Structure 1
Amino acid sequence: MTQLDPRTALTWLVEAGADEAIADMPVDRFVARETRPAAPTQRAPAAAANVPSAPAPAAAAPVILRPAASDPLAGAEANAGRARAAAQAANTLEELQAAIAAFDGLALKPTATNLVFADGNPESGLMLIGEAPGAEEDRRGLPFVGPSGQLLDRMLGAIGRDRTSAYITNILNWRPPGNRKPSPAEWAITLPFLERHIALAKPKLVVLLGDTSAKTLLDTTEGITRLRGKWKSLERPGFGPQTKPIRALATFHPAYLLRSPAQKREAWRDMLAVDRALRTVEL
């Protein structure tokens, strides 16, 4: 089992609700109350002859550990503001990558091996956005290089494209521990970097890979089965006035297709729609 550093462990306890220390010793609450051992008592020492007893000291106040705010997203707002400022200060993709690498406001960074920024050709006009890096992506520092990436390569190849004619990234640039689903706070912090990434890459078409990518960037609660195959207008606050709305199409994530191969037919239709759009759009 991986041992967490004290700060991360304390943060986890606070978010789980263990935010008050009200006793010196822990209580085993899995034992029935009547069978719990009685709390130890201290016997007062015998008073010395002719020595007046000193007044008892006041009881120490319990130590209370509280989060900065009851809302779990409250702490993320400050870090999201820092991320927004760092992202807007980047004028090139290289500067943006350096800003993400230097940013210390996302707790995922210390648990990851490598920053996973992007792969492919940013001038291709076609940008594909997934959710987050997996184990192989984290090891190599590139998006979509594991089994789902191999399937994505075949999907691109079916419409005559590869990584020299497409640009691939994720919402998150750091792998969540154990491939767990990122929290809303983590999405909020990392989103300004992604918005700036899209604005700098200036794609003509965006393909949203999977439920999380589609819901996050289209700001909707609809599921991927309802969203896929429908062209949407992608507009984000972080794009700035210079970036016009971008045509976006959601489709199934390759990892989902590996688990549900029957859905590959629908994904194939989506890729054909992308191919048709690429033939008509001015790249």
Structure 2
Amino acid sequence: MIDSQDLKMILSIYKDAGDDEIISTTTQNRFEEKKEASSMSEPDPIIATVSPRLSPQIAQKRDDSSASAAKSLEELKEALRAFEGCALKYTATNLVFGDGNPKARIMFIGEAPGADEDRQGLPFVGQSGQLLDKMLSCIGLTRETFYITNIIPWRPPGNRQPTPAEAEVCLPFVRRHIDLVNPDFLVLLGGTATKTLLGGRDGIMRLRGTWKEYTTDAGKKIKIMAIFHPAYLLRSPGQKREVWLDLIKIKHSLKEAGVTLKECL
């Protein structure tokens, strides 16, 4: 049964996503800028052609040894800086490693940095990251009480989706990242993170919202759940209901485990 705090959380998520009419039956995306209608036809603008910045021809190559040798998050970060097996490193501005509390009991893993993250060198600081922070605040979590990173630490050109090969070469560093943070709960944001860590043929539509068991390289068994990426929620606001149902499950599991949560403001 959904209690009053859960209802308050749901309303807050709807508000943050742009819904301010509870009587409306039409899904609206308020994050999408309205296109101004023009009554007069205008000539097409002249757009300069800019050649794209090409990635150097670097073989995608895993490096399990340097990842497993890292004894701390700082050492893992330096190992990634030295890693030359992923061409994305050479088209990105910054390495985007992680953010939040490295001693938190819950860890979130997304897909890859976007333009804002690439500029600042921190994960989830753009529009989707701000939405994620608001959603998590509704279940009592802040960056002081959770840790967050991505499968890919470098921005893919044009914010494209990472390829399976790019995710594969970064996987040893992701698994070591999980070992070093040592969470009790792991939440995967979006299809890329879900496919990379859980494998199998099922996509996030089938896997989301259910706790599963995940064994770390260190042998620890932890709870793992996949949920929709906040960027997907911005594009598909009709999925908000599924997101808050998953967040309620996460909140209740954290409470049962004795994790102290703030009240939804």
Mark yes or no: TM-score above 0.5: yes
Choose from 187, 204, 224 the match for 1:224. 204
Residue 141 in 1 paired to residue 117 in 2? no
**Counterpart residue identity of residue 256, structure 1:** Y
Residue 115 in 1 paired to residue 95 in 2? yes
Please state whether the residue corresponding to 1:182 is helix, strand or coil.
Answer: coil
Which TM-score applies when normalising by structure 1? Answer: 0.71
**Counterpart residue identity of residue 234, structure 2:** L
Please state whether the residue corresponding to 1:108 is helix, strand or coil.
Answer: helix
* Structure 1 residue aligned with 2:187: 207
Structure 2: distance between partners of 1:249 and 1:183: 22
**Counterpart residue identity of residue 261, structure 1:** P
Structure 2: distance between partners of 1:4 and 1:154: 35
* Structure 1 residue aligned with 2:226: 250
Cα pair 1:87 1:193 within 8 Å, conserved: yes
Deviation at 1:4, TM superposition (A): 4.6
Deviation at 1:226, TM superposition (A): 0.8
Cα pair 1:137 1:143 within 8 Å, conserved: yes
Residue 179 in 1 paired to residue 159 in 2? yes
Max Rg structure: 1
* Structure 2 residue aligned with 1:260: 236
Please list, as runs of the form range in 1=range in 2, the aligned pairs for 1:80-119 lying within 5 A after superposition.
80=62, 83-119=63-99
Deviation at 1:207, TM superposition (A): 0.7
**Counterpart residue identity of residue 200, structure 2:** T
**Counterpart residue identity of residue 237, structure 2:** P
Cα pair 2:213 2:224 within 8 Å, conserved: yes
Cα pair 2:53 2:91 within 8 Å, conserved: no
**Which range moves more in the overlay, 271-280 or 111-120?**
271-280
Cα pair 2:106 2:146 within 8 Å, conserved: yes
**Counterpart residue identity of residue 183, structure 1:** T
Which TM-score applies when normalising by structure 2? Answer: 0.76
Identity score, percent = 54
Deviations 1:176-230 (A, max 9, x none): 1111122222111100000000011001001111111111111122111111111
Deviation at 1:3, TM superposition (A): 5.3
User: Which runs of 5 or more residues in structure 2 are unaligned?
Assistant: 1-49, 260-265
Structure 1: distance between partners of 2:145 and 2:51: 40
Please list, as runs of the form range in 1=range in 2, the aligned pairs for 1:1-283 lying within 5 A after superposition.
1-2=50-51, 4=53, 8=56, 11=57, 75-76=59-60, 79-80=61-62, 83-235=63-215, 239-240=216-217, 242-281=218-257
User: Which runs of 5 or more residues in structure 1 are unaligned?
Assistant: 13-74
Deviations 1:42-93 (A, max 9, x none): xxxxxxxxxxxxxxxxxxxxxxxxxxxxxxxxx53xx21xx21110110001
Q: Count residues with an aligned counterpart.
A: 210
C-alpha RMSD of the superposition: 1.6
Higher relative contact order (CA 8 A, sep 6+): 2
Please state whether the residue corresponding to 2:205 is helix, strand or coil.
Answer: helix
Cα pair 1:119 1:169 within 8 Å, conserved: yes
